Chains A and B, each alone.
Chain A
Amino acid sequence: MIRVLDPTNEMKAAGTQPALRPPSLKGKTVGFISNGKEGTKGYFAHVDRMLREEFGVRDVVWRTKSNYSAPADQHIVDEISRWHAVVTGVGD
């Protein structure tokens, strides 16, 4: 019999809770946080059109991170409170 130790991180970082979902997007402002990669342009353009035409979104705000592998810049994070929803986490 041997005793071995758990190698995983049992001390997890403080979790975060997802924001409440708006019941409707009609008349709302939605922000896009792009990582700036080439493929995101067409993707976000399509989602922008869809949100406005199919869901009645009033404004779509586009923002792009200065470093696609790092968290969003603080000035972008500061803007988020003025939006009702955010689309981010899009890869290549």
Chain B
Amino acid sequence: MQLSNKQALTSKVYEIDDFAAAQELFHSNGWTDGLPVVPPTEEAVEACLEWALMPPDQLIGIEPVREQPITAEKLAINAVMAGCLPMHFPVVATAWSAMMQEEFLLHGTTSSTGGCAVLVIINGPVRLEIGANATFNALANSDRATAVIGRALRLALINLMDVRPGGIDRTTLGHPGKFSYCIAEDEEDTTWQPLAQMRGIPEHTSAVTVMAAMAPRQIMNEWTTDPKEILETFAAEMRANQRHYSIYGGNYAIVIPKQLREHIQGAGWTKRDIAEFVYERARIRRAEWADVGKGAVVRDRGDSVYTALDSPDHLLVVAAGGPAGGFGAIIPPWMGHKTKAVTAAIGACADCEPPKS
């Protein structure tokens, strides 16, 4: 669909010789993540906006702490740079809008020394339309769509919020998810309800969930078919994270690939059953800090119990991963419940026909 009375783009234009000159311009100005970028031409940016039916000056949101307004045009420029096609842009725009919600705490999560990344989980029909792969290598370089959508958010943080290392971004270590951290749920190969539906989005609606997330911690248990034993391994990894990183409860995601998923599903367990079991099992006493060199902060509260989840609702259970292997992953929150995962439906245009030229 073509927008009538198309508004002109207003961003500053640079005229450069060729692709190589574009790379030098963007790298020398600190506008990249260190990797090459797709030169954001007017045509490519307009195509993203047309696909999403957004005028260039449409406000995607205002960052609550620094009151920084973000327009569709600026977000689309960064999406193009990341390698996004127009059909990816509605996902990027919805994820960005979700990140701007106060409970996500964008400023804190992107400036913290703790160094989390924005994990994006895609649900609904849009996954199939954009070719997001939820199976092999799900948490890494699984496909084009998730790679560029996750990268678009990072480039937008760098360029629109000045979240550059040593600038607003004060991260001590960070993790590779800060290049791109986006997965799709394998809705076709599970009996479980999709994550977005669990979080209140209507059935068959495309949606994204964003979470300020640390790196995945992989587990392995190929030696049982008992859901309790399998999930005990996940819970143990969460307890390890509580001991070694942060004891405080918040949103955790757990990613369950097909092999382990089939054992759990086969026993009749739902995502809710999983969450309730993990909620009970993922908890430690403060005194356990003394076992891992943190005895100095146990003080007189050694018997206090800390749950990894404030409630079962705080566990994001995601069906994703390759078909074989008794692996899974937990993805811890940046820092307890200071930030909360946000789920948002993708605008009506996510399922629109491509624009006709």
Q: Which residues of A contact B (CB under 8 A)?
A: 1-14, 38, 67-71, 91-92
Contact = CB atoms under 8 A, between A and B. Distances in A.
A56 to B, nearest CB: 34
A12 to B, nearest CB: 8
A5 B13 contact: yes
Contact of A4 (B25, B107, B160, B338): B25
A66 B16 CA distance: 49
B18 A2 contact: yes
B13 A7 contact: no
Interface of B: 9-19, 22, 25-26, 31, 39-42, 45, 63, 65-71, 74, 77-78, 81, 105, 107-109, 111-113, 155, 159-161, 170, 297, 335, 338-339
Contacts of A9: 68, 70, 74, 159-161
A4 B67 contact: no
A73 to B, nearest CB: 13
A7 to B, nearest CB: 4
Contacts of B111: 69
Contacts of B69: 11, 13
A13 B66 contact: yes
Q: Which of A13, A91, A92 has the most CB of B within 10 A?
A: A13
Contacts of A13: 63, 66-69
B68 A10 contact: no
Contact of A2 (B12, B16, B109, B335): B16
Contact of B14 (A4, A10, A38, A68): A4
Contact of A69 (B14, B16, B66, B338): B338
A4 B65 contact: no
Contacts of B81: 7
A92 B113 contact: yes
B173 to A, nearest CB: 14
A70 B68 contact: no
Nearest to B158: A7
Contacts of B17: 1-2
Nearest to B14: A4
14 contacts: A2-B15, A2-B17, A7-B11, A7-B77, A7-B155, A7-B159, A10-B11, A10-B12, A13-B63, A13-B68, A68-B338, A69-B335, A71-B65, A91-B113
A11 B70 CA distance: 8
B40 A70 contact: no
A63 B112 CA distance: 21
Given A5-B77, A69-B105, 19 more contacts: A2-B15, A2-B39, A3-B42, A4-B22, A5-B11, A6-B77, A7-B11, A7-B40, A7-B160, A9-B159, A9-B160, A9-B161, A11-B74, A13-B66, A13-B68, A13-B69, A69-B335, A69-B339, A91-B113
